[in-house]
Structure 1
Amino acid sequence: MQHGHFRIGGKPLRADTERTVHSILAAAERVLSGDPTATMEQIAEAAGVARTTVHRRFATREALIDALTRWVTEQFAAAVDGAVSETAPPLVVLYRVTADVLRVKIGWGFAMTRAAGSADPEIARVYADVLEKCDRLFRRAQATGLLRSDVDIKWARRCYYALIHEVTQGGTADADVDALTTLIVDTLLRGFGADPGHASAGL
């Protein structure tokens, strides 16, 4: 997974320092997913670095969690930006963006949960931008006949978000992202109803 470039005091970090920071954040995600009350010492041990190294990069436990939350928000935005295309068929884009977002949500569940409830205005801006891109994709899907013409776009997007949320709740560390993506897209586009002709025949 690509990761964003960290800056301290406005200056980009050296490559080796950035690798250390990323290792600490990845360890923080693993440890805090299992125990949200885990200490900096536990995170340092999981990252394979000294506690002083963690404290040198992050002054407090809260600062570490905030950095993790901001970083995963960047990955979420990058997943959407990398998948969304105005020229590819909407169905292709829908599969691609669903899979890429699932990988971030499954791999960084603790941080994504924090990001979703964050009051940070920059994080809120990212989520609003993602929402707008999703609605635009759904409007393209409707215009090309992938979605019915009478579908309420906002309701479709809310259902789509709910499906993604549900499949990423618990026990997904070894999840088959492709299978989950197919399940989500199939449920979104087909639902659970029988053929409309069969349903009306029974009335």
Structure 2
Amino acid sequence: MRADAARNLAEVLRAGARLLAEDPSTPLSAIASAAGVDRSTVHRRFATREALLSAVFEAKLDDAERVIDEARLTEAPVPVALHRYVEGIIPVSRAWPGDTRRMMRADPAAERRATEQSARIDAFVRRAADEGFLRADTSPAWARAVLDQLVSTATYRFPDMTPPQAADLVVDTLLNGLGR
């Protein structure tokens, strides 16, 4: 793909993610305008809003998978891996906002990828519990729900907080709030 075409596609996906998160009925022409491209450019690439949503979801999954891989959840010390994950996933969540559950139901392959990614995070939280970073009376399912909520809160309620600052706060809250 040519550099300008790749840049245009990235702008369309980002604009689509932002606008469709705000209003799922946003027309493709409005997304094209926000992306700074011609409407025909968007329509040539995406025949429907659902096709664009699917591409947005795939881009979000790609970025999330990169963050999970780079966090080294199975190898790095738990606090380090947790910080890497949170610091990386907050920008991904900010760049690709919106409820993706609807797309997961419509795209079995994307749902499978999202489920696999979630399982990797679940395994990491179990590892944190097994290694004594969480209180013994705290279920990993509860800790995972708390982690997700902390990340969501840092991402959306505190948009001016930098990812490293947010990661510091989330890690401290999770490990010390639920820690021994």
Q: Please give the range of the TM-score, normalised by the shorter of the 2 chains.
A: 0.7 to 0.9
Q: 1:38 to 1:89 in 2, by over 3 A?
A: same
Unmatched segments (≥5 aa) in structure 1: 1-12, 197-203
Which residue is equivalent to 1:73?
A: 61
Q: Which one of the candidate residues 84, 92, 113 is aligned to 1:104? A: 92
Which of the two has greater helix per residue?
A: 2
CA displacement 1:36-76 (0-9 Å, x = unmatched): 33221111111111111111111122221221122212212
Cα 1:60/1:139, change in 2 over 3 Å: closer
Which protein has the larger Cα radius of gyration, Structure 1 or Structure 2? 1
Percent sequence identity over matched residues? 36
Bigger drift between 71-80 and 113-122 goes to 113-122
Structure ranking higher on relative contact order (CA contacts 8 Å, 6+ apart):
2
User: Aligned equivalents of 2:62 and 2:46: distance in 1?
Assistant: 19
1:127 is matched with which residue?
Answer: 114
- 1:189 equivalent in alignment to 2:175: yes
Q: What residue number does 1:153 align with? A: 140
**RMSD of the alignment, in Å?**
2.6
1:46 equivalent in alignment to 2:34:
yes
Q: TM-score, normalised by structure 1?
A: 0.75
1:106/1:168 contact within 8 Å kept: yes
Output the CA distance in 1 between the equivalents of 2:103 and 2:127: 29
Report the number of matched residues: 179
Query: Retained in 2: the 8 A contact 1:70–1:123?
Result: yes
Residues 5-28 of structure 1 show CA distances to partners (whole Å, capped at 9, x for unaligned) of: xxxxxxxx4444322211211122
Aligned 8 A contact 1:115 1:123 in 2 = no
C-alpha distance in 1, partners of 2:142/2:178? Answer: 17
Structure 2 alignment gaps of length 5 or more: none
SS in 2 for 1:148: coil
